[in-house]
Amino acid sequence: MTTRDDTQGTRHADNRRPDDRYREHGLETQCTHAGERWERYDFWSSSTPIYNATTYFYDTFDQLEERIFYRQPGYVYSRYGTPTTTTLERALSTLEGADATLVCASGMAASHLALLAAGAGRDCPVLCSSDVYGSVYTMVEDVFPHLGAPTAFADFTDLNRVEDALRKTGARVVYFEVMTNPLTRVIDAPAVVALAHRYGARAIVDNTFTTPYLLRPFEFGSDFVCHSVSKFLSGHGDVLAGSVGCHQDDFTALHAMLIQVGCALGPNEAWLALRGLKTFALRMERHCANALEVAHFLESHPMIERVRYAGLPSHPQYAVARRIFPPGRSGAMLSFDIADCDQARAVRFLDALRLVLPATTLGDIYSLIVNPARSTHRWLGPERLAALGILPGTFRMSVGIENVEDLKADLDQALRTSR
C-alpha cells in the first residue's frame, strides 16, 4: 500500500492561499492587487500565453527607462509590442528570412506602413502594379497624392512597361503583388526588384497570395515584404492581422511609423495567428493539390471560357511561375471567366453554390469565391474594370482543403443551375 505524503497537498495548495501582502489592506485594494505578480515562473508553457496587459513595469525605474529608450529589450506599453506579438513576429521573420518583422492590425495597415516606411510621400513618387487588391489601388491612387506623393500604375507582367514607367515617373517606391489580385497573373518578382533598384527605387512585395511556401522575396533583394496575415498564414478566417518584414536598417523607421500611426495588433489576435501558423505548411500542401485539380476541372468544363492558374501550361506566365516557384507548388488562388456571363448570371452562379462560400476574403481552410466586378474591385468602374480584364463573369477562387471531388461537384451544379 502506498503511503500518503500529507505534505504534498500542502505544497500544492501554497500558490492558492491568501496573498499575505494585502491581508491588512482594504477590500478595494485587495480587489485591485491580490494575486497579481505573485511569482516569477521557472517553467515554459507549451503554447505562448496571451499577455492581455497594456502596460509593463520593472523592479526599478532605471530598468523601465532602459526599455523606454531601447537600451535593453523588453516591454513598456502594448502599442510598442507585447510578448505575444513578438513571438508571432519572430516566427514570421523566420519563415520569410527577414531581419525583423512587425505585425499590425490588418493587411491594409501593413501595406500602408510599408509604403510610409519606404519613403512614400512628398517628392517621393510611387509606382504600383495596376492589378492589385482594390483597396490598395484606391490607397495609392487617392490617399498618397494627398500626402504629396505622385503615383502611377503599370502592367508589371511586362518588364518593358515597368522600366519605361520607372524612367518616366522617377518613382522611388515600387509596390506589387507576386500573384495579382484578382486575376492571378504572376509577376517576375526578382526581375522587377532588380529593375526598381537599378533606378534607385525601393521595392515592396506583397507576398499574401504566394506566401513563404512558394516564395521568399528577401532572397532576391526585396526591401519590404508585407502580408495580410488574416489569409493563408493564419488560415482559419478568425483573425484580422497584417505584417511587414524588413531589413535591419529599416526597422527603426518602420517601428516608429507603427507607433505613430497606432495600428498595433492585439495579443489575442496575435495568439490566434500563431495557432493557425502551426499548420500553415500542412494546409498549403492540400491547398495547392486541390487548386490544381479544380483548375484542370474548370479548364475542361464547357461553360468556362478561361482559367488562370499558375500551375496550368495555359497560364500566360506559366514559364515565370515555374522558374520562381518550387516544383509542384502553384498556390491556392485561381481565377476564371464563365462564358457568356452577365451580372445576372454571375449572381445566379454564386447563389447556387452550396459548399464553396461566396465571401470577400481568401486563404481560409474553406473554399471561397468572389465576383470582383461586384465586390472587391467594384469602385474602379466599368471602363477601368474592362481595361484590367475584369469582366462581369470573372471570378476569383481561393481553393480550400475540402474533399476535391466535393468541390468539383459543387462548382459543376452551380454552373448548370445558373444557365
Nearest to 94 by CA among 280, 317, 252: 280
Residues 200 and 232 occupy one common structural domain: yes
Residues 320 and 183 occupy one common structural domain: no
The per-residue pLDDT for 394 is 95
Give alpha helix (H) positions in 221-329: 248-261, 267-277, 280-299, 318-324
- Count of structural domains within the chain: 2
Residues 325 and 269 occupy one common structural domain: no
Residues 244 and 358 occupy one common structural domain: no
Residues 179 and 289 occupy one common structural domain: no
End position of a domain, from candidates 277, 304, 336? 277
Residues 52 and 163 occupy one common structural domain: yes
The per-residue pLDDT for 279 is 95
The per-residue pLDDT for 397 is 98
What CATH number corresponds to the domain at position 169? 3.40.640.10
Residues 259 and 390 occupy one common structural domain: no
What CATH number corresponds to the domain at position 301? 3.90.1150.10
With respect to residue 398, please indicate whether it lies within any of the assigned structural domains.
yes
Residues 339 and 242 occupy one common structural domain: no
Residues 223 and 321 occupy one common structural domain: no
> Consecutive sets of 10 residues in the chain, 419 residues long: mean pLDDT of each?
53 74 89 81 87 94 94 94 94 95 97 97 93 91 93 97 97 97 95 98 98 97 98 97 97 95 97 95 97 98 98 98 97 97 96 97 97 79 79 96 98 97
Residues 263 and 390 occupy one common structural domain: no
With respect to residue 306, please indicate whether it lies within any of the assigned structural domains.
yes
Residues 370 and 246 occupy one common structural domain: no
Going by their DSSP bridges, the two strands 224-228 and 242-246 should be labelled as: antiparallel
The per-residue pLDDT for 383 is 79
Residue 346, exposed/middle/buried by CB under 10 A (0-12, 13-18, 19+)? buried
* pTM (2 d.p.): 0.92
Distance in angstroms (rounded) separating the CA atoms of residues 256 and 252: 6
Determine the structural domain holding residue 69 and report its residue range: 27-277
With respect to residue 93, please indicate whether it lies within any of the assigned structural domains.
yes
Residues 321 and 250 occupy one common structural domain: no
With respect to residue 304, please indicate whether it lies within any of the assigned structural domains.
yes
